[in-house]
Amino acid sequence: MQVAEHNMDSQASSALLQQVRERFAGKILAEQSTCDGIPTVWVDRADAKALLRYLHEETTPHFEMLFDLTAIDERVRVHRDGQPASEFTVVYHLMSFSGNCDVRVKVPLQDADLQLPTVIELWPNANWYERETWDMFGIKFEGHPNLYRIVLPPTWKGHALRKEHPARATEMEPFSLSDEQEAIEQEALLFKPEEWGMKRQSDNSEFMFLNLGPNHPSVHGAFRIALQLDGEILVDAVPDIGYHHRGAEKMGERQSWHTYIPYTDRIDYLGGVMNNLPYVMAVEKMAGIEVPARAKTIRVMLAEMFRICSHLLFYGTFAQDVGQLSPIFYMFVERERIFNIIESICGARMHPGWFRIGGVAQDLPAGWDKRIKELLEFMPPRLDEYDRMVMDNGIVKRRTQGVGSYNTNEALDWGVTGAGLRATGLEWDFRKQRPYSGYENFEFDVPIAVNGDCYDRCAVRVEEMRQSLRIIKQCMENMPAGEVKSDHPLTTPPRRKEGLHDIETLINHFLSVSWGPVVPPEEVTMSIEATKGINSYYLVSDGSTTSYRTRIRTPSFAHLQMIPEISRGFMVPDLIAIIASIDFVMADVDR
Amino acid sequence: MNWQLQSVDEATSPQPGGSEVDDFIRRNVMMVKLEDMVSWGRKNSIWPFNFGLSCCYVEMATAFTSRHDLARFGSEVIRGTPRQADMIVIAGTVFRKMAPVVRLLYDQLLEPKWVISMGSCANSGGMYDIYSVVQGVDKFLPVDVYVSGCPPRPEALLQGLILLQEQIGRERRPLSWVINEQGIIQKEATPVQRDTRRADRIAATELRSPDDT
């Protein structure tokens, strides 16, 4: 099996840098090279917006999507060779779909003066990313219409991802909830329409404000959305998130590279080991580990099984939310059967945490192929049956067709990836466009749809399950022989074969197991086509046993932000169909 | 309280030599103390509140659906409002932003009410010793049963539910409204499973190899 991973075409990236250099001569503070090959340009905040506008509108290729926006607290970072002086760095990660390439723009800021202009008018999805950066770092974005806390409670003191903020709950005052405190917190959570520029009445009617969530059967977890209603018609909506913030990014600064793996499982908790993949790939990239072909294929096979599991849950709850109660009872049977297989391979159901830096935890158990064969036999007829039950159902069609639709440009503006993007007709799958972990060796199609409505988003996912089965079949038939873990010394835990013969290997083993591996100072972004869209890990290593900064870009965060945009003018039941069709989990939103 | 079930094949007509009246009474009349009867009913019809926080909720939903089928234990009636439910399963991580909401929902459950804490996060914060997570829901709610696991298997939740049912079955509550002290009689505390099953667990000397399916 050949090893070919997508690295940004060096020619394309130098052509892009050339354009930037010409236009912004003398204004570029530095060009940084990172091991993922994504061109990274440092620019002063006075020029930042002009550069971002230039990249968005004028360069070839254009950067249609603000893929990610975050910051790094650089104050205690040691390895910053060649980077401009900065205490807080704001990082813009842009993505071009026309040119299939990325660029990173970094803006240095000093702690005493943490502000820079907003970019909402370039990319509307910057809104939430900027609020998050304010919430986590205290960086102000001038011109932002509602720069409120988004993730932490409104009563919170401090900014969690600053290095001086405590990480552990046990370092802070023990939590207690007195009646007075509860009243204060509840008061702070009260939705105030005026804060969001909403009127309480129009010329001919008074609006009703309806609070949906944070606990509601159809919001799939702890998610709240405040609705402004004119009768039954939705005038506007304000999603409120942060009820599921588990501090996964701060956790990365404390756990060793190896012991962070289980935390990644719980990001998109329906994706299981698929979440491990971008993380371990990112660490492997920094450490320079080449993963054996067998491990890569095992990873693909398990990731695709989890994709089916996740899509089945989506399929069932989608049908349930639009009023069909039985499909979910059938689909959970299939899900259980797949979990049985996963359990026999990994030893756990939902969160196996089974991938390792440099490979996977164990080889496949004897008889695995028999169980996969069973899966390949029982699934397809069941999927056909579900098509008849759900997709051909007239009520489901009427509830979802033409509801919550958006086109490709809107999707790119709002940072939508995954099935939601493909449902608009853009054939863009990370596994095809930038193959990783050996996806270039598999034959599969990228299902698309045309209308971009709720029904199409579901239809795309249904077809993706069939494609996943195709991939699993190819994995089964062509499983390469060989090792499941790399021989590289930073592989964790390292193979013990030579450990009893030479002291060097034994020392490596001991250190990797007790302290964890020391990853060389680097920066890297690794992305995958996860169950819900593009999931990406941006890791900054400062040459130690833990990550200096772990940034997790999750698809659901971007998707939720779009809800008001696509649900205006519909009725409340349509909103439920829209929420169901997005397929999000709150852990994937708030992390 | 005793009762017996009769299989369908069993003759329902009176047997020769037997007393027809006795048989009829045995099948249709049950003598029982009212408070035992109420507690039996309470035990076998726990209505859970449809409430979930994170990953554990998915396993909880798995327990509701066909393979595990919570209906076998009389708990399939999931209520969307706390005012109609008896029991809340704290399924998932309890976040500081969510804590006041959880408390409000708990307060809205009608008495008598019970709490199952499902999964490591709800039990103790688990692997999330982090600024935004409450280190265990028992910091602000009384918990009746803790189910361990991350997330617990659906079977574990079922076991937790059975333990709760047994505990409720042992409880005696006043039959009418009571002011001040509720007069709840807890006959004996539910034993800690770690202690009761320790001997069995230590006795296991051979574990299945992970090398085959």
Compute the distance between CA of residue B118 and CA of residue B141 in angstroms, rounded to an integer: 13
In this prediction, residue A509 carries a pLDDT of 81
| Least trusted range by pLDDT, from A35-44, A139-148, A388-397, B200-209 | B200-209
Dihedrals phi, psi of A105, to nearest 5 degrees: -120, 130
Determine contact: B94 vs chain A, CB below 8 A: no
Residues of chain B with pLDDT > 90, as a percent, come to 20
pLDDT category at A298 given cuts 50, 70, 90 is very high
Nearest CA of chain A to the CA of B164: how many Å?
Answer: 24
Are the Cβ atoms of A169 and B134 closer than 8 angstroms?
Answer: yes
Regarding whether A566 and A430 lie in a shared domain, the answer is yes
Helix (H, G, I), strand (E, B) or coil at B110: coil
In this prediction, residue A417 carries a pLDDT of 92
In this prediction, residue B10 carries a pLDDT of 66
Are the Cβ atoms of A168 and B131 closer than 8 angstroms?
Answer: yes
In this prediction, residue A5 carries a pLDDT of 45
Query: Diameter of chain A by CA atoms?
Result: 85
Are the Cβ atoms of A243 and B95 closer than 8 angstroms?
Answer: yes
Compute the distance between CA of residue A289 and CA of residue A487 in angstroms, rounded to an integer: 9
Dihedral sign (CA A61, A62, A66, A69): positive
The phi-psi region of residue A165 (left if phi > 0; otherwise alpha if psi is between -120 and 50; otherwise beta) is beta
In chain A, the residue whose alpha carbon lies closest to the alpha carbon of B100 is A182
In this prediction, residue A488 carries a pLDDT of 84
Q: Give, as one character, the DSSP assignment of residue A148.
A: -
State both tokens at A33.
């090279």
pLDDT category at A216 given cuts 50, 70, 90 is confident
Helix (H, G, I), strand (E, B) or coil at B73: helix
Regarding whether A254 and A153 lie in a shared domain, the answer is no
Regarding whether A492 and A377 lie in a shared domain, the answer is yes
- List, in sequence order, every residue forming a beta bridge with A364; answer none if it has no partner: none
Domain boundary among A127, A146, A161: A161
In this prediction, residue B13 carries a pLDDT of 58
In chain B, the residue whose alpha carbon lies closest to the alpha carbon of A252 is B130
Determine contact: A152 vs chain B, CB below 8 A: yes
- Residue A186 CA: distances (Å) to CA of A153, A210, B97: 10, 16, 10
Regarding whether A265 and A156 lie in a shared domain, the answer is no
Determine contact: A175 vs chain B, CB below 8 A: yes
Compute the distance between CA of residue B191 and CA of residue A552 in angstroms, rounded to an integer: 43
pLDDT category at A4 given cuts 50, 70, 90 is very low
Determine contact: B213 vs chain A, CB below 8 A: yes
Q: Is the pLDDT of residue A311 over 90?
A: yes
Render the burial of A247-282: b for 16+ CB within 10 Å, e for the rest: bbbbbbbbbbbbbbbbbbbbbbbbbbbbbbbbbbbb
Determine contact: B153 vs chain A, CB below 8 A: yes
| Least trusted range by pLDDT, from A214-223, A296-305, A547-556 | A214-223
pLDDT, mean over chain A? 88
Nearest CA of chain A to the CA of B159: how many Å?
Answer: 18
Determine contact: A395 vs chain B, CB below 8 A: no
CB contacts under 8 A, A 344-383 vs B, are 344-345, 347, 349-351, 362, 365-368, 370-371
State both tokens at B63.
């327990």
Q: With contacts defined as CB-CB under 8 Å, which chain B residues touch A242?
A: 97
Q: With contacts defined as CB-CB under 8 Å, which chain B residues touch A373?
A: none
Are the Cβ atoms of B95 and A246 closer than 8 angstroms?
Answer: yes
Q: With contacts defined as CB-CB under 8 Å, which chain A residues touch B134?
A: 169, 175
Q: Is the pLDDT of residue B6 over 80?
A: no
Q: What is the CATH number of the domain that holds A550?
A: 1.10.645.10
In this prediction, residue B12 carries a pLDDT of 57
Q: Is the pLDDT of residue A301 over 90?
A: yes
Are the Cβ atoms of A167 and B132 closer than 8 angstroms?
Answer: no
Residue A45 included in any domain: yes
| Least trusted range by pLDDT, from A297-311, A392-406, B7-21, B96-110 | B7-21
Q: Cβ neighbours of residue A204 under 8 Å, at least 6 residues apart?
A: none
Regarding whether A287 and A140 lie in a shared domain, the answer is no
Compute the distance between CA of residue A53 and CA of residue A59 in angstroms, rounded to an integer: 9
CB contacts under 8 A, A 253-312 vs B, are 262-263, 266, 269-270
Are the Cβ atoms of B213 and A371 closer than 8 angstroms?
Answer: yes
Nearest CA of chain B to the CA of A312: how many Å?
Answer: 12
For A320-330, the pLDDT digits (tens) are 889 888 899 99
Residue A113 included in any domain: yes
Helix (H, G, I), strand (E, B) or coil at A225: strand
Q: Is the pLDDT of residue B183 over 90?
A: no
Q: Is the pLDDT of residue A120 over 80?
A: yes
In this prediction, residue A500 carries a pLDDT of 78
Are the Cβ atoms of B129 and A170 closer than 8 angstroms?
Answer: yes
Residue A510 included in any domain: yes
For A51-86, the pLDDT digits (tens) are 999 989 888 888 999 999 999 999 999 888 888 889
Angle at A127 between CA A123 and CA A133, to 5 degrees: 115
Q: With contacts defined as CB-CB under 8 Å, which chain B residues touch A185?
A: 99-100
Structurally, chain A folds into a number of domains equal to 2
State both tokens at A176.
């207690």
Helix (H, G, I), strand (E, B) or coil at A526: strand
Residue A173 included in any domain: no
pLDDT category at A294 given cuts 50, 70, 90 is very high
Average pLDDT value for residue range A478-485:
89
Are the Cβ atoms of B65 and A329 closer than 8 angstroms?
Answer: yes
Are the Cβ atoms of A244 and B125 closer than 8 angstroms?
Answer: no
Compute the distance between CA of residue B94 and CA of residue B123 in angstroms, rounded to an integer: 9
Q: Is the pLDDT of residue B16 over 90?
A: no
- Residue A268 CA: distances (Å) to CA of A157, A180, B55: 28, 35, 9
Residue A258 included in any domain: yes
Are the Cβ atoms of A221 and B57 closer than 8 angstroms?
Answer: yes
How are beta strands A101-109 and A40-43 bridged, if at all?
parallel
Regarding whether A257 and A376 lie in a shared domain, the answer is yes
In this prediction, residue A10 carries a pLDDT of 67
Average pLDDT value for residue range B90-94:
91
Regarding whether A472 and A338 lie in a shared domain, the answer is yes
What amino acid is encoded at A19 in this protein?
Q
CB contacts under 8 A, B 162-191 vs A, are none
Average pLDDT value for residue range A1-30:
71
Residue A224 included in any domain: no
Residue A434 included in any domain: yes
Considering only CB atoms, B58 lies closest to which of A168, A269, A344, namely A269
Regarding whether A254 and A144 lie in a shared domain, the answer is no
Regarding whether A257 and A124 lie in a shared domain, the answer is no
Compute the distance between CA of residue A12 and CA of residue A410 in angstroms, rounded to an integer: 26
A-B CB pairs within 8 A amount to 148
Tell me the residue range of the domain where A27 lies. 10-161
In this prediction, residue A1 carries a pLDDT of 35
Domain boundary among A143, A161, A179: A161
State both tokens at A403.
């509801």
For residue B144, give the nearest of B190, B99, B85, B187 by alpha carbon.
Answer: B190
Q: Is the pLDDT of residue B11 over 60?
A: no
Dihedral sign (CA B75, B140, B132, A125): positive
Compute the distance between CA of residue A49 and CA of residue A560 in angstroms, rounded to an integer: 25
Domain boundary among A161, A186, A208: A161
Are the Cβ atoms of A332 and B97 closer than 8 angstroms?
Answer: no
Regarding whether A510 and A376 lie in a shared domain, the answer is yes
Regarding whether A422 and A569 lie in a shared domain, the answer is yes
Q: What is the CATH number of the domain that holds A14?
A: 3.30.460.80
Please answer whether residues A404 and A564 qualify as being in contact, where contact means their C-beta atoms are separated by less than 8 angstroms. Answer: no
The pTM (predicted TM-score) of the whole model is: 0.89
Determine contact: A165 vs chain B, CB below 8 A: yes
Residue A194 included in any domain: no
Q: Is the pLDDT of residue A123 over 60?
A: yes
For B23-44, the pLDDT digits (tens) are 777 777 878 888 888 888 888 8
CB contacts under 8 A, B 50-89 vs A, are 50-55, 57-59, 61-62, 65-67, 80
Angle at A222 between CA A216 and CA A224, to 5 degrees: 70
Dihedrals phi, psi of A550, to nearest 5 degrees: -115, 115
Please answer whether residues A518 and A288 qualify as being in contact, where contact means their C-beta atoms are separated by less than 8 angstroms. Answer: no
